[in-house]
Structure 1
Amino acid sequence: MTYLETAAQFYSQVAQTPEVGLCCVQSTPLQLPGLKIPQPMQEMNYGCGTTVLGELANQPTVLYVGVGGGLEALQFAYFSRRAGAVIAVDPVAEMRQAATRNLEIAAKENPWFDPSFVDIRAGDAFNLPVDDASVDVVAQNCLFNIFEPEDLTRALQEAYRVLKSGGRLQMSDPIATRPIPPHLQQDERLRAMCLSGALTYEEYIQRIIKAGFGQVEIRTRRPYRLLDCQTYNLSEPLLLESLDSVSFKVPIPEDGACIFTGKTAIYAGSEPFFDDGAGHILQRGLPAAVCDKTAAKLAAYMPDEIIITDSTWHYDGGGCC
């Protein structure tokens, strides 16, 4: 049995018998006026963070990969209240059936919601059942991390294919603070449980960029799970973190992709402002959000007059690019 078959079998089981707390979600569902989340959806909230952001506008078409219990599909539908606005794809029949039931309950508890807003389809992350450049947002929560590295690349490339120019890939995945040992990577059930397939932050981001995304924004990065020595046969504990990110389908600049991790640049010189001639103007004493690439260039250019602050691992717009 392959790791994907093991994962399908595992999620078939938890679709039929919900396992509360399976993924140890580190953030509460986005609270929105007039939105009531049915209890069965909360019990099947198999994610490590959130992909639904309050900045959604203009009723975007959303492709949600791995429907789960339907919670985030419902949240996305809150912003796009029209038939078929949210396309939810899942290869597991039992999970699709559970999400359908949960969305019918949601319709009874939320007068604004109609089940037609969410179109649930059979499919997987490697063969998304939509046309090229046809959706505004692709989202996935705690799914891509179960893929082996080359399959992750395939999934990212497929997400890139279906996004419109300027579209967004919104993801939440565990990452590892150091490479996960082979004996855990090869444990198919642990991989299905989102405990052994995580990449390091550096490798995860590089695979996003290699898929073609020119801008990546880190929205949150926080502790997720600790793999202890005794249970997982480790010489020292291994911390997993939860990473929420937004990647944009924009061209990669000649000098490399823009990655925002919450760094700022502060000009401390004698002039009222500093202009680097490349589109970055810093007012004296005022922090300006910059991508990591720009931060490194500014720090090297004027190390005595420009202060670069550390990554906060939170960024929500207003930066240099």
Structure 2
Amino acid sequence: MTESPGANGELLDVEQAVRDRYSAASQQVEPQLCCAVSYNADLLKVLPQELIDRDYGCGDPSRYVQRGETVLDLGSGGGKICYIASQVVGPEGAVHGVDMNDEMLSLARTHQADISQRIGWDNVEFHKGRIQDLGLDLEQLEARLQQQPVATAAAWLQSQSTAAELRRKQPMIASDSIDVVISNCVLNLVSPEDRRQMFAEIFRVLKRGGRAVISDIVSDEPVPDALRQNAELWSGCISGAFLERELLQAFEEAGFYGVEIVERQAEPWMVVEGIEFRSMSVRAFKGKQGPCDDHHQAVIYKGPWKRVTDDDGHVLERGAPMAVCDKTFQIYSRPPYAGQIIPVPPSRPIDPAAALPFDCRTGELRDPQQTKAGKQEPQPGDKKQNAQKPGGLNLLPGDCCGPQDGCC
């Protein structure tokens, strides 16, 4: 049981409040559980109206999914986003949905065969589990507990050992197995006490270079304890809303980089006691961990800001060839930085075995001699390489003009 303490000392069972609300919403449409979201109409054609009507979200993270990827949807509910993602990733991709609500899982699975036939492939799998504990498959645990019912303290302790064994030997979602984690208005339903573990689990399951794209409800002011003890407001995505900056900070603290707001609702979805609640979508990447080796690379920040600082403390000056390690160079060469950075490779490739450790947070400028495009080692048979023009000018590789050519 996950509880959230209130100012009067009473405890709200957050998971039970959410479970009750969404169990009812799986049977009857609850308009207050969602805000207006525009989806690709073509991708909705294969879905029965029941799934469309009983989808509760505040964004569309599936638009950031790419073909061939392995996708994990946290709090997959009736499966709408999973089936949309299935069409986007294609038959070579895969989609996993995780939800702890039996009724929602039943709704998602009921239509799976028909939807898969309409799409042309079946690459979706739904799991029963908690999004803050992606290693434990609750259906596997329930099967074990049916064989060994918990009636004593000793049996309860054994059930904890069984759960730990399942996480270790048969994880629901394996480490480093997912290209992109998506979620649609679900993270705010998790108790604050479990959120650090939840972000750690998102980080764990992502591949290096993978990303999380999360749509959720945020607030412009802290939510007071009195509202946090309201079961209806909590299960309705209000009481558990992240403070805007704290949602981004949670990704940063979990080890992500390139954290950015990709969408933010202009007008609030709801105002409660003067606090504005709105939808916001955030994208964050995994992969900044690892050694920093010097391969004589540089990056030039294009602007328009005079200087910027990344999540690792690297300060980039506009227009300056900043010296960076190979890991940072590779990161900057990919989204979300690629469009803002000019990567400058070394004049000669560096053997990784010979590369020296390098701290690129010192703000050091790269020596131009290490990145000059025309500075190459002489190649056998290449008579033009490093030839000299009159006046001592170096010829670039492929230069058509030389003293012996008579062309100028």
What residue in structure 2 maps to residue 311 of structure 1? Answer: none
Deviation of 1:31 after TM superposition, in Å, equals 4.0
Note if contact 1:291-1:319 (Cα within 8 Å) is conserved in structure 2: no
Deviation of 1:24 after TM superposition, in Å, equals 1.5
Note if contact 1:175-1:200 (Cα within 8 Å) is conserved in structure 2: yes
- CA distance change for structure 1 residues 83 and 295 in 2, over 3 Å: closer, same or farther? closer
- CA distance change for structure 1 residues 105 and 204 in 2, over 3 Å: closer, same or farther? same
What residue in structure 2 maps to residue 56 of structure 1? Answer: 66
What residue in structure 2 maps to residue 78 of structure 1? Answer: 87
Q: Distance in 1 between matches of 2:302 and 2:338?
A: 17
1:45 aligns with 2:55: yes
Q: 1:96 aligns with which of 98, 105, 109?
A: 105
What residue in structure 1 maps to residue 74 of structure 2? Answer: 65
2:247 is paired with a residue of what secondary structure? helix
- CA distance change for structure 1 residues 33 and 140 in 2, over 3 Å: closer, same or farther? closer
What residue in structure 1 maps to residue 195 of structure 2? Answer: 152
What is the root-mean-square deviation of aligned Cα atoms in Å? 3.2
- CA distance change for structure 1 residues 298 and 291 in 2, over 3 Å: closer, same or farther? closer
- Of structures 1 and 2, the larger Rg is shown by 2
- CA distance change for structure 1 residues 13 and 34 in 2, over 3 Å: closer, same or farther? closer
The Cα offsets for residues 47-86 of structure 1, whole Å up to 9 and x where unpaired, read as 11111125513x1111111111211101110123338811
Q: Distance in 2 between matches of 1:48 and 1:34?
A: 17
Note if contact 1:214-1:253 (Cα within 8 Å) is conserved in structure 2: no
2:271 maps to a residue whose letter is L
What residue in structure 1 maps to residue 39 of structure 2? Answer: 29
1:244 aligns with 2:265: no
The Cα offsets for residues 141-188 of structure 1, whole Å up to 9 and x where unpaired, read as 111012232312211110111110011111001110111111011212
1:97-246 matches, cutoff 5 A: 97-107=106-116, 110=118, 112-114=119-121, 116-128=122-134, 129-222=172-265, 223-228=267-272, 234=273, 237-246=274-283
1:280 is paired with a residue of what secondary structure? strand
Q: Distance in 2 between matches of 1:149 and 1:240?
A: 17
Q: Distance in 2 between matches of 1:155 and 1:124?
A: 9
- CA distance change for structure 1 residues 20 and 134 in 2, over 3 Å: closer, same or farther? same
Q: Distance in 2 between matches of 1:21 and 1:74?
A: 23
Q: Distance in 1 between matches of 2:307 and 2:131?
A: 32
2:242 is paired with a residue of what secondary structure? coil
1:319 aligns with 2:363: no
2:39 maps to a residue whose letter is P
2:173 maps to a residue whose letter is V
Note if contact 2:176-2:206 (Cα within 8 Å) is conserved in structure 1: yes
Deviation of 1:96 after TM superposition, in Å, equals 0.3
Structure 1 residues not aligned, in runs of 5+:
229-233, 255-276, 302-314
Q: Distance in 2 between matches of 1:288 and 1:99?
A: 47
Structure 2 residues not aligned, in runs of 5+:
1-11, 135-171, 292-296, 321-335, 343-408
The Cα offsets for residues 254-275 of structure 1, whole Å up to 9 and x where unpaired, read as 9xxxxxxxxxxxxxxxxxxxxx
Note if contact 1:217-1:316 (Cα within 8 Å) is conserved in structure 2: no
Note if contact 2:58-2:185 (Cα within 8 Å) is conserved in structure 1: yes
> Greater relative contact order (Cα 8 A, min sep 6): structure 1 or 2?
1
Q: Distance in 1 between matches of 2:29 and 2:120?
A: 24
Deviation of 1:316 after TM superposition, in Å, equals 9.7
- CA distance change for structure 1 residues 9 and 292 in 2, over 3 Å: closer, same or farther? farther
TM-score, normalised with respect to structure 1: 0.74
Q: Percent identity?
A: 28
The Cα offsets for residues 223-280 of structure 1, whole Å up to 9 and x where unpaired, read as 342224xxxxx3xx211121111111121699xxxxxxxxxxxxxxxxxxxxxx9723
What residue in structure 2 maps to residue 308 of structure 1? Answer: none
